[in-house]
A and B are shown apart, each in its own frame.
Chain A
């Protein structure tokens, strides 16, 4: 059973471009969480999704950021018109249920130049 897969592992974007980060949860997991880790900081919750539903997006910046978890396929975190301050490591985690233990992916390191 493969773990949580995130791709790409490293992503470089120029200011103003779009970044798309993918997260394939573990088999059988229907709950996905996205976290952001800014340089030298701890992880901050961004959004919690179940299949086709956003349950809690209280940590998402109001503009430029969106997330989805379609019925088929990976969860996508999209950042439009990236700025240097978006440079960070983005982690996703998945679980079988709301209270079940979540497993983290290895993260995507986004660098905006």
Chain B
């Protein structure tokens, strides 16, 4: 069965530190997507990235970077030089396949609460 594990429940860092949020997934699908979402205290879901299972290239977007390793079924997220505004719950998610293709039926991890102290 598909599963997403975010083993870190809470992380606390001081501003300007780098922080990595771990995500490990299980799936039998050959085609799938992996996602990261940010949920700030206001409660909305902010899309950060969607990665296709066939694309293992790492991605960098400003202070954010993602490391996708199929060999270890991991999709880790690093924030460089963290800021107080990065404080939020971060969710990793995996898509389920339906009729042979990836869908938006997502399995979410339990989230990691990141607290960035000034």
Leading 5 A-B pairs by shortest Cβ distance: A102-B104, A42-B108, A104-B45, A43-B108, A106-B44
**Contact pick for A48, options B91, B93, B103, CB 8 Å:** B103
Please tell me which stretch of A16-24, A77-85, A92-100 contacts chain B, meaning at least 4 of its Cβ atoms lie within 8 angstroms of it.
A92-100
- Known contacts: A48-B103, A93-B104, A106-B44. The answer to whether A43 contacts B98 by CB under 8 A is no
User: Which residues of chain A have a CB within 8 Å of any CB of chain B?
Assistant: 31, 33, 35, 41-45, 48, 55-56, 89, 91, 93, 95, 98-104, 106-107, 109
Cα–Cα distance between A45 and B101 once the two chains are bound (Å): 17
Check A44–B43 contact: CB distance below 8 A: no
Chain A residues with CB under 8 Å of B37's CB are 104
Please report which residues of chain B, range 91-110, place their CB below 8 angstroms from some CB of chain A when the two chains form the complex: 91, 93, 98-99, 101-110
- Complex interface: chain A residues within 8 A of B110 (CB): 41-42
Interface residues of B (CB under 8 A from A): 37, 43-45, 47, 50, 91, 93, 98-99, 101-111
Asked if B50 contacts A48 (CB within 8 A), the reply is no
Please tell me if the beta carbons of A43 and B91 are within 8 angstroms of each other in the complex.
Answer: yes
Of the A-B pairs whose beta carbons lie under 8 Å apart in the complex, a sample of 17, sorted by A's number, is A33-B104, A33-B106, A35-B106, A42-B109, A42-B110, A43-B106, A43-B108, A45-B107, A48-B103, A48-B105, A99-B103, A101-B47, A103-B47, A104-B37, A104-B44, A104-B45, A107-B43
